[in-house]
Structure 1
Amino acid sequence: MNEYFEAYYWSIENLPEFWAAVWEFCKVKSSQPYEKVMDDLSKFPGAKWFVGARCNFAKNLLRRKDEKTAFVLRNELGVRRTITYKELYHLVIRVGLTLRRFGIKRGDRVCAYMPNIPETSIAMLAATVLGATWSSCST
């Protein structure tokens, strides 16, 4: 337990080093690296994190393409459904291609009125991969 508290105190006393280590540990992929981990922490909210970095979180989430479980859904009727990372990747690609056929491109906005089901997350990831902004509310 002592190691936990040492790590905890190190993380809050050495914020830039801690978050740089998290970035490396998570193997975040970016098209442009960060110049600085953080800037102006006196502004909260308003502090800037990983200044200069450009990354697409959907592309980072979709790096895995294995058979491990990505989503588990259990609805109100008790029906259980799972989606693997491999299935998720292929579903996001299919939805993304459909969005592209509809003319969705970087900078566009995609809004949806959908229930809290995996397909909503799939649509969000597809829009994000294309560089579109996603917004939704659940039914």
Structure 2
Amino acid sequence: MNDVRKKLWEPSEEWIKTAEVTRFIEYVNKKYGQVIKGGKDLYKWSVESTPEFWAAMWDFGEIIYSKKYDKVVKDLKIFPGTKWFVGSRLNFAENLLRYNDDKLAFIFQGETKVSKQITYAKLNITVARLAKSLKEIGVKVGDRVVSYIPNLIETPIAMLA
């Protein structure tokens, strides 16, 4: 049997230059004194220096928090059970809804070829409407809202509301 593997896609030089991962590699090289040249080097550093990698991701991603972590990772050898960003306090929705522009926030591709997209501006409006509806029916801070819903674009919207 002949196992010929053909690349499905390869990024252009321009794509590579402007990619977020390229910016992240440049950030890591400067801040941590690394000499990472591409994806394989980045992967190697991420598994050999896991706490530093995730601290770099936290900082590069400009995570909004009310309390920064005391420790990046605890019990890395225990899986499941590893604790990440121990002591930190942040609001997941605040981090995802901080943008309010026409860039794409979510792209959904269903198994039946149904495709949907939503911008950050539309996401903010939709989440605000759903949050208002939840408040109107009596849902308040501290309440648990449970849902059994499929993997659709509406699923993260409901979580954020």
TM-score range, shorter chain: 0.7 to 0.9
SS at match of 1:37: strand
TM-score (normalised: structure 2): 0.66
SS at match of 1:109: coil
Shift of 1:118: 2.6
Kindly provide the amino acid, as one letter, of the partner of residue 37 in structure 1.
Answer: V
CA-to-aligned-CA distance 1:42-71 (integer Å, 9 cap, x gap): 321111110000112122111111111223
Aligned mates of 1:76, 1:19 — CA distance in 2: 32
Which residue, out of 39, 43, 48, partners 2:78?
43
Q: Aligned pair in 2 of structure 1 residues 114, 49: CA closer, same or farther (>3 Å)?
A: closer
1:62 aligns with 2:97: yes
Aligned mates of 2:91, 2:46 — CA distance in 1: 25
Which residue, out of 94, 102, 105, partners 2:129?
94
Shift of 1:75: 6.6
Task: Specify every segment of 5 or more residues in structure 1 that has no aligned partner in the other structure, as ranges.
Answer: 127-139
Greater RCO (CA < 8 Å, at least 6 residues apart): 1
Kindly provide the amino acid, as one letter, of the partner of residue 130 in structure 2.
Answer: V
Task: Specify every segment of 5 or more residues in structure 2 that has no aligned partner in the other structure, as ranges.
Answer: 1-35
1:15 aligns with 2:50: yes
TM-score (normalised: structure 1): 0.76
- RMSD between superposed Cα atoms in Å: 2.5
**Aligned residue for 2:155?**
120
Q: Which moved more, 1:92-101 or 1:106-115?
A: 106-115
Return the structure number with greater strand share: 1
